[in-house]
Amino acid sequence: MSGFSLLDGVRVLEVAQLAPASLGGHLADLGAEVIKVESGPLGDPVRVGGSRAIGDADGPAFMHLRWNRGKKSVALDLRSPDGKQAFLDLAASYDAVIEGMRGGYLDWLGIGYEQLRQVNPRIVLCTVSGMGTDGPYRVLGTGGPVFDAYAGLREVTTPANPPTEGMAGSTTPPIAMYALGAYGAMGLLAALHKAGATGVGCHVEVAGIDVAAAWMPDLVDAELNKNRSIPRPSWLPDGRLPDWPRLEAYRTSDGEAILFGSHVEKFWHNFLVAVGREDLVGVDLTSVDDGAAARADLVWRALTEIFVQRTRAEWVQLFLEHGIAGGPVNTVADMLADPHFRARENTYRVDHPQVGELEFVVSPVRVAGEKFAPALPPAVGADTAEVLRSVAGYDEERIAAVSGGGDARRGEAPPVG
């Protein structure tokens, strides 16, 4: 059982590991039938990735339970002639294929887009990789933090002594690694729309480094056009607005923090009236002159003294009552306990055969009238016989012949990247 019903009838074959498997995860969440083609006794390494295991030391990983939920698993040895033929036999009846290894992996196996469209002219192939399928780095093995570092998104430190926290030079969570699947799903669904209208499929590609490069266009595009643009005179030389104290974080009386978001004048005026500080209305926070820094400093100090007088929850309540923009600064634990998070039914529960009931965050997509409740990820190869029998028409003898335990990345095959 998948999540929602939006993609009922859409059938997808997935040859993907680690973060690229999130593309199929998004589609399964929306109701697509996603068949995960796996090999070897362990299948997708993300099944046991991450620092925490559920139940016991060999238990599943949280990323696996998120990215592979609601899918089916078919075990095929894609290095063997029978395995390749079975893959193409399935592809003949499917709408799309996800290639989530290193770019060109299916071509290397001889079952790439040219072979796929011979058996199914309408099929869409979406390649999701780290470095893409062209360029001098196309064969470079990569991972999530590398995408961000490549594009200047990740602040990396190289201390003289061994680091005591974080990984890959930073404590910042990867961005492109998690966004990769969403962009891939967008591209795949757009390609399916075109295929539905024209009867002709296509090959689309999303690379982690390209996602990272496009993530902050105001920085990248400004650098590309730095000789054709000028600093906006209403902004400070350091890149902030002169009213930056109105869009800043402040400590509260309970040791927590609130993010003040009242850059817009009406929110600012509402705030000053609510706290009895109308005297600050006359402070000019729009002009950029020699006195701008001193005026901003004055307001920041006043706001620092004001915000420390109430708790974080009290400030949120005041913001709600007086029409003031802003919100709480939460840890993950704080967010899970936040009344707004709880009111929006942001989690669902599912029974796990080894550990009992588990609770997970729902898809960020909401569908009116539908409840999000996807099934747990399948065991490796759990659906092999059923899928090959019902889709490809295989008998038991042929099913046994093609469902192997080989590692599709053994030998010279391009690894994930």
For 240-268, how does the pLDDT look when each residue is reduced to its tens digit (9 = 90+)? 999 999 999 999 999 999 999 999 999 99
Question: Whole-angstrom Cα distance, residue 270 to residue 319?
Answer: 9
Residue 231 lies in a domain: no
pLDDT tens-digit readout, 48-101: 888 888 888 888 899 999 999 999 999 999 999 999 999 999 999 999 999 999
Whether pLDDT at 120 is above 60: yes
Q: Per the domain annotation, does 178 fall within a domain?
A: yes
Residue 266 lies in a domain: yes
**Region 177-206: what's the mean pLDDT?**
96
Helix (H, G, I), strand (E, B) or coil at 44: coil
> Are residues 112 and 49 part of one domain?
yes
Asked if residue 233 belongs to a domain, the reply is no
- Residue 184 to residue 20: CA distance in whole angstroms: 8
Contacts of 348 (CB under 8 A, 6+ apart): 359, 360, 362, 371, 372, 373, 374
> What are the C-alpha distances in Å from 121 to residues 14, 69, 95, 187, 195?
18, 29, 10, 18, 9
pTM: 0.91
> Dmax of the chain from CA atoms?
85
Mean pLDDT of the chain: 91
For residues 288 and 384, state if they share a domain.
Answer: no
pLDDT score of 104 more than 50: yes
- 24 with 127, same domain: the answer is yes
- Coil vs helix vs strand at 343: helix
Can you give the pLDDT at residue 411? Answer: 33
Q: Which of 340, 374, 389 is the last residue of a domain?
A: 340
Domain count, the chain: 2
Say if residue 278 is in the same domain as residue 176: no
Mean pLDDT across 133-138 = 90
In a domain, 223, yes or no: no
Please give, one letter per residue, the 3-state secondary structure of 113-138.
Answer: HHHHHHHCCCCEEEEEECCCCCCCCC
Q: What is the pLDDT of residue 103?
A: 80
**Residue that finishes a domain, picked among 307, 340, 373:** 340
Range of the domain at 269: 244-340
Q: Using pLDDT thresholds of 50, 70 and 90, give the confidence band for residue 140.
A: confident
**Residue 404 confidence (pLDDT):** 52
Q: What CA–CA distance (Å, rounded) separates 176 from 142? A: 12
Supply the pLDDT for residue 19: 92
The domain that holds 39 is classified in CATH as 3.40.50.10540
pLDDT number for residue 156: 83
User: What one-character DSSP code corresponds to residue 59?
Assistant: P
Q: Looking at the structure, tell me whether residues 102 and 209 fall in a common domain.
A: yes
Helix axes 312-322, 265-274, angle to 10 degrees: 120
Decide: 377 and 65 in contact? Cβ < 8 Å. yes
At residue 389's C-alpha, the angle toward residues 383 and 391, to 5°, is 90
Which pLDDT value is given to residue 409?
A: 36
In this structure, the answer to whether residues 50 and 195 fall within a common structural domain is: yes
Last residue of a domain, one of 292, 308, 340: 340
Q: Write out pLDDT tens, residues 217-226.
A: 888 998 999 8
Whether residue 275 sits in one domain with residue 174: no
pLDDT of residue 160: 86
Q: Indicate if the pLDDT at residue 414 is higher than 60.
A: no
Q: Would you say residue 222 lies in a domain? A: no
* Bridge partners for 126 per DSSP: 98, 204
Q: What is the pLDDT of residue 2?
A: 62
Q: Are residues 209 and 300 in the same domain?
A: no
pLDDT score of 180 more than 90: yes
- Report which listed range, 134-143, 150-159, 231-240, 338-347, is most confident: 338-347
State the residue for tokens 């840890």. Answer: 331
d(CA 351, CA 372): 15
Best mean pLDDT range from 301-310, 349-358, 370-379: 301-310
In a domain? residue 175: yes
Going by C-beta distance under 8 Å and a sequence separation of 6 or more, which residues neighbour residue 12?
24, 27, 32, 33, 34, 35, 94, 95, 96, 97, 98, 188
Same domain, 19 and 168: yes
The stretch 320-348 carries a mean pLDDT of 96
Of 203, 175, 177, 174, residue with least CA distance to 191: 203
Query: Residue 325 has what pLDDT?
Result: 97
How long is the chain?
Answer: 417
Q: Within a domain: residue 411?
A: no
Inform me whether the pLDDT recorded for 302 exceeds 90. yes
Query: What value does the mean pLDDT take over residues 289-300?
Result: 95
Q: Mind giving me the DSSP string for 132-168?
A: -SSSTTTT----HHHHHHHTT-S-----SS--SS-BT
Is residue 367 domain-shared with residue 303, that is, in the same domain?
no
- Between 412 and 92, the more confident residue is 92
Give the integer Cα–Cα distance in Å for 211 and 356: 37
Percent of the chain topping pLDDT 90? 74
The CATH number for 276's domain is: 3.30.1540.10
Instruction: Determine which helix (DSSP H) or strand (DSSP E) holds 384, and give its type and residue range.
Output: helix 384-391
Do residues 40 and 77 lie in contact, with contact meaning Cβ atoms separated by under 8 Å?
no
Q: What percent of the chain has pLDDT over 70?
A: 96
SS3 for 13?
A: strand
Q: How many CB atoms lie within 10 A of CB 88?
A: 17
Tell whether 197 and 290 lie within a shared domain.
no
Backbone angles phi, psi at 150, to 5 degrees: -60, -40
Q: Does the pLDDT of residue 238 top 80, yes or no?
A: yes
- Tell me which of 232 and 184 has the higher pLDDT: 184
Interstrand relation of 96-100 and 11-16 (parallel, antiparallel or unpaired):
parallel
Residues 330 and 394 in one domain: no
- For residue 416, the model assigns a pLDDT of 45
pLDDT of residue 87: 96
